[in-house]
Amino acid sequence: MNTNFTHHQSAHCENGVASNLLKHNGLNISEPMVFGIGSGLFFIYLPFIKVNHAPAISYRPLPGQIFNRLAKRLGLKIKRQKFSNEASAQVALDENIRRNVPTGLQVGVYNLSYFPDEYRFHFNAHNLVVYGKTATDYLISDPVMETVTTLTHNELNKVRFAKGAFAPKGQMYYPIQVPEHIDFKTAILKGIKSTCRDMLAPMPIVGVNGIKYVAQQIKKWPTKYGTKKANHYLAQMVRMQEEIGTGGGGFRFIYAAFLQEAAAILNNDRLNELSSEMTTIGDLWRDFAVEASRIYKNRSTQSDAYNMVSGQLLNIADREKIFFKKLKKAVS
C-alpha cells in the first residue's frame, strides 16, 4: 500500500512534517511559515537537567508545540493519539495507511537505521511521516533526509516505543480538517507576538535572559568543572545550536526567512529590515560556534578563550533584546 505523498526535504523535522502533511492536504505552506506561525524560536537553559552528560540547552519549544500552535492559529484540526502497547499502535497506523492518510509520528532517533552512526543518540523528539507499507517495510518520509527511505516493521515499532525523556509512546498525528479560507495575516501576527513574549520573558533561564545567563556561566565553567568537562559542555552547546534540524545558527536563519515571507504577506517593509538584522544575528551565532570549536579542538585551557566566547554570547543577548523589542513594535 502506498499513499501518493510528496517528500520535501526540510531543515527541521517537526516543521518539515507539518509542512509536508499540510501540503498533502492541499495547504501550501513553507517550512519557515510553519516555524514562524508556530513560534518555533525559543531559548531555554536548564542547568539542572543533563543531556548527554551536559546541561540541557534548547533552542526550540517542547516537541509538538510548534505544530499545535500552528494548528490553533490557522484553525486546523489535528488528531493526536498515543498508545499503551505496540500492537494497538501498529493497528492504528496500518488503518490510516489503508485509508490513504499519510501519518506523522514522533520517534526516537537511536534505532533509526538510516541515520549515520554518529547521529544515533537517545533523543526522542524526532518526527517523520509514514506514507505506505509493504510486506516487510514501512515507507518513510523523514524530512531531514534528501529522499524517502524505509524501516522494517520491527524497526518502526522500536523507534515508536523508544524510552527515556519525551518517550513518544507510539504517538501519531495527522490533520483531519483544513479550512477552505485561512487568515494568514492574523496567524502571523499572533506567532510573532508570542515569540517576542517568549524571548523577552522576565525569567532568568528563558529567552534573551537565558542566553545572557549561559554567557555568564560559561566564564566559570573551566574553573568550576575543569577543562575537560567545560570543553564537553561547550561542544554540546554548539551541537544543540547547529545540529541537523536547526537550519544553522540556532534556527535564526529559518526565522529570518519567515520574517521575509511575512513582510510580503503583511505588506510590512519593516519586517524585511528586521529579517536582514536577524540574518546578521544568525551570523554572530555562527561566529560563536567557530570560536567555541577552536577551544574544544585544541583542548585549550586558557580562560581567555572562555571569556571571549562568553563576550560573544553577551553581545548576541544584547542584540537580540533590542531586536525583539523592535519586532514587537513592528507588529503592534
Task: Please report whether residue 230 would count as binding other proteins according to CB under 8 A.
Answer: no
- Rounded distance, CA 230 to CA 210, Å? 18
CB of 11 to other proteins, least distance (A): 5
Taking a C-beta distance cutoff of 8 angstroms, is the pair 282, 249 a contact?
yes
Binding marks (x or -) toward other proteins, 71..100, rule CB under 8 A? Answer: ------------------------------
CB of 323 to other proteins, least distance (A): 17
Judged by CB under 8 A, the residue of 6, 50, 152, 225 near other proteins is 50
301 touching other proteins, by CB under 8 A: no
Q: Is 253 in the site for other proteins (CB under 8 A)?
A: yes
Tell the smallest beta-carbon distance from residue 101 to other proteins (Å).
26
- Minimum distance between the CB of residue 218 and other proteins, rounded to whole angstroms? 15
- Of the candidate spans 74-82, 211-219, 253-261, 315-323, the one that interacts with other proteins by CB under 8 A turns out to be 253-261
The 10 Å Cβ neighbour count of residue 202 is: 7
Does position 304 interact with other proteins (CB under 8 A)? The reply is no
Tell me if 217 contacts other proteins by CB under 8 A: no
- Which among 209, 233, 208 has a CA at the least distance from the CA of 295? 233
> What angle (nearest 5°) sits at the alpha carbon of residue 41, between those of residues 37 and 42?
135
Spatial distance between the Cα atoms of 293 and 238, rounded to a whole number of angstroms: 8
At residue 109's C-alpha, the angle toward residues 103 and 79, to 5°, is 25
Contacting residue, 86, 94, 243, 318, with other proteins by CB under 8 A: 243
Could you say which of 139, 256, 309, 316 contacts other proteins (CB under 8 A)? 256
- Burial annotation 243-257 (CB, 10 A radius, 16+ → b, else e): eebbbbbbbbbbbbb
Interface residue with other proteins, options 110, 213, 221, 323 (CB under 8 A): 110
Cα torsion 83, 86, 88, 92: sign:
positive
3-state class percentages of the chain: helix first, strand second, coil last, to nearest 5:
55, 15, 30
Contact (CB, 8 A) for 124 and 161:
no
218 with 306: CB under 8 angstroms? yes
> Looking at 9, 65, 300, 315, which residue binds other proteins (CB under 8 A)?
9
> Where do contacts with other proteins occur on this chain (CB under 8 A)?
9-11, 32, 50, 52-53, 110, 116, 118-122, 144-146, 163-165, 167, 231-232, 235-236, 238-239, 242-244, 247-249, 253-254, 256-257, 260-261, 275-276, 279, 282-283, 286, 289-290, 292-293, 296-297
